[in-house]
Structure 1
Amino acid sequence: MHTSKEYLAALLLSLVFLPAWAQQPQFAVRNLSLPKELAFYDNQFSGLYSSQGQLFLLSESRLQDQAEAKLYALRLADLDRKLADTTFTLPYRQVPIRNLAPLRARMAAAGQSYEGLEAVLIDQDDVYFSVETATPSTNCYLLKGRLNATAVVMDTTFLLPLPKPVAADGAHIYNAGFEALALTNKQVLAFFEYNYFPAANYGYALERAHLSRDAAPQKLAFDKLPFRLTDLTPTGGQHFTGINFFFKGEGGDAVYRTPATDADNTRLITDVSGFKNYCRLIDVTRTGDRLTWKPLWEFPVPYNGYNWEGLAAYKNGYFVINDKYTPSRPYRTTLLYLQKTK
């Protein structure tokens, strides 16, 4: 006959050895309707950031396509109301980004081709953007501006190169840039989109106290990660949550496929008909100068075909936004709130 102490010990032991999927958080997907201007697909949102009681939505700001350079801002209090009342129309304001064109011109003069803004980080009134450049360009860039009541005004003297990691033969990874920025107490962190190099992968750390256009990024070793890392948000301590996305495209996009020898990851992105879109959240942990990761939560199948580009932690969940691509046309901006259920 088992004693109550023996039963309790067995129960605790069984909880310790629960399968990984049973220990992961679960989320309900809340789709938040947007005003027409924000829902317009050609905003091509590429990042989210929560600061000063607001959620900032970063437009890719493709100057080469005559797009406006801008952010949008939504009050978190209004988003709370939207979550409680789905009929509520979200108020918003546009935040222009001034003086971006001269920085693009400086990149061009250095032989680098600006393609858009990919990530945003707000540190009080300082705003940082990462710039993606064309695949053949050797550098991406970190930019800095100041947020005032009506706009972000860029510092045209601050243009910090972020050298792209390359393959062993020197080849550049197709359409890959620094898609994620994060803030720690002392550093700004920049994360590359592709982290599946066979030998070494790394992010960059830059000291906040000495951050200048001449700063030298410190490399942080990053455990090999398949697919794309398209955004990242801090979640406390040295933990961050990231979007790990796979697009089934052909051509240059094929570089993000895992080989058949990597059976565990290939299983996630294939079925009987071939490759399929896939997306999950991952937990990234920094320990000293090393970054590790583990799976956190898989997006439901109907949401795998969206190109999720922006992520911001809020309360016990996350806001997530796509650039413009959806499983079917017409394309549109989709803003989700992933509400934790357990």
Structure 2
Amino acid sequence: MPARAQQPQFTVRNLHLPKELAYYDNQFSGLAASADKLYLLSESRLQDKAEAKLYSVRLADLDRQLADTAYVLPYQKLPIAGLPALRDRMAAAGQRYEGLEAMLLVQNVVYLSVETDTPSPLCYLLKGQLRADAVVLDTTFLLPLAKPLAADGSHIYNAGFEALAEANKQVLAFFEYNSFPGQNSIYELTDKHLSSASAPSKLPLDQLPFRITDMTAAGKNRFTALNYFFKGEGGDAIYRTPASDLPNAQLIRGLGDYKNYARLLTIELKDNKLTWQPLWEFPEQYRGYNWEGIAAYKGGYFVINDKYTPSRPYQTTLLYLQPTK
């Protein structure tokens, strides 16, 4: 696959969030646009006494602020009911909950992926109902997703199923790390009659570098994904590409050191396999944000970070990547 992105196709628009939404410790981990609203998923780190919640903002209000930057965005907070009970069930199975990582909305059905700590062999898929004032999780539904293992049998550091999508009435779960030697794959689950006992099948995915941190539908069986590289040391070094992979290595190497990098990919499902190609590179000043959520809208994309920004103080940043004419 080519590693260089095409020429920029978007103008970056920075939206101004109300104080409650801009608070860095919301640690937003997913976005979804559905009906007339944009939904912002908090990681909901219960172990840190965080509230289980997501927020909604009307798309018409976002349009208004894009036209009038002085406009203050109204918003609604939606508590997520049932998450503590599900976390207790994970703990009883010996798995340590770390947070919610991805969100998929199918009409009024909500799917959420749970990341667990690195030693835990399982992540989870949750299911619930999107209501006017809350998300109500089904506390009888807790579907385990086994983490893929490195060649030596170890777990990939701090990695979970960071993206959920739907195609052909199947729920697709994408792992954060997809540079395993040999065949990489995603999980596929039939959303009809889905239960805690459902066994996922696999679809092959072309090996790709760096992290997949979220994705959004961009057409029939076509998705746009966030592809992010963090220059950190230690366990994060697993995402470094070898120097022999020159096209990708040059994206993340600076003057003798590594540098953060972020881009959009197009991922396509065809003939029961997934392929990808670069779509667009974030401008240099936006590559140090840990982009965790993306939602397609009017030919462009909303993207949001978790909390990490190139410099302190940390804060939530919501961008609209507006298509150029």
Q: Do both proteins adopt the same fold according to a TM-score greater than 0.5, normalized to the shorter chain?
A: yes
2:314 matches 1:324 = no
The Cα shift of 1:124 comes to 1.3
Offset of 1:184 from its aligned partner? 2.0
TM superposition shift of 1:228:
0.2
Q: 1:147 and 2:130 equivalent? A: yes
1:160 aligns to what?
143
How big is the shift at 1:125? 1.4
Count of paired positions: 324
Q: For 1:260, give the aligned amino acid.
A: A
Structure 1 position 288, deviation (Å) = 2.6
- 8 Å Cα contact 1:25/1:340 also seen in 2: no
Indicate the residue corresponding to 1:286 in structure 2: 269
* Letter in structure 2 aligned against 1:221: P
Query: 1:153, CA displacement in angstroms?
Result: 0.9
For 1:1-342, list aligned pairs within 5 A: 26-342=9-325
**C-alpha distance after superposition, 1:38-84 (max 9, x if no partner):** 00000000000011210000000000000000000000011111111
Matches of 1:148 and 1:304 in 2, distance apart?
35
State the alpha-carbon separation in 1 of the partners of residues 310 and 101 from structure 2. 22
Partner of 1:7: none
| Farther-moved stretch of structure 1 (321-330 vs 206-215) | 206-215
User: Residue type of the partner of 1:166?
Assistant: L
Q: TM-score, normalised by structure 1?
A: 0.93
Q: Deviations over 1:112-148 (max 9, x none)?
A: 1100000011111111100000001111100011111
The verdict on how the C-alpha distance between 1:22 and 1:139 changes in structure 2, with shifts beyond 3 A counting, is closer
Pairwise CA distance, 1:245 = 0.1
For the residues of structure 2 that align with 1:302 and 1:199, how far apart are their CA atoms?
Answer: 35
Distance 1:135 1:184 in 2: 29
Checking the alignment, whether the CA contact within 8 Å between 1:48 and 1:56 is kept in structure 2 is yes
**Larger relative contact order (C-alpha < 8 A, sep ≥ 6)?**
2
Structure 2 distance, partners of 1:160, 1:292, is: 26
**Amino-acid identity (%):** 69
Mapped to 1, the partners of 2:211 and 2:238 lie a distance apart of 10
Provide the rounded CA distance (Å) in 1 between the counterparts of 2:80 and 2:31.
15
Rounded Cα–Cα distance in structure 1 between residues aligned with 2:4 and 2:257: 25
Compute the displacement of 1:237 (Å): 1.1
Answer with 1 or 2: which has the greater Rg.
Answer: 1
8 Å CA contact 2:26–2:42 kept in 1: the answer is yes
User: Where does residue 13 of structure 1 map in the other structure?
Assistant: none
Could you list the per-position Cα deviations for residues 233-271 of structure 1 after superposition, in whole angstroms to 9, with x for gaps in the alignment?
000111100000000001110011011111111100001
Kept after mapping to 1: 8 A contact 2:108/2:130: yes
Query: What are the Cα deviations for residues 163-205 of structure 1, in whole angstroms up to 9, with x where unaligned?
Result: 1111121110001000000122311111000000011111111
Distance 1:150 1:288 in 2: 40
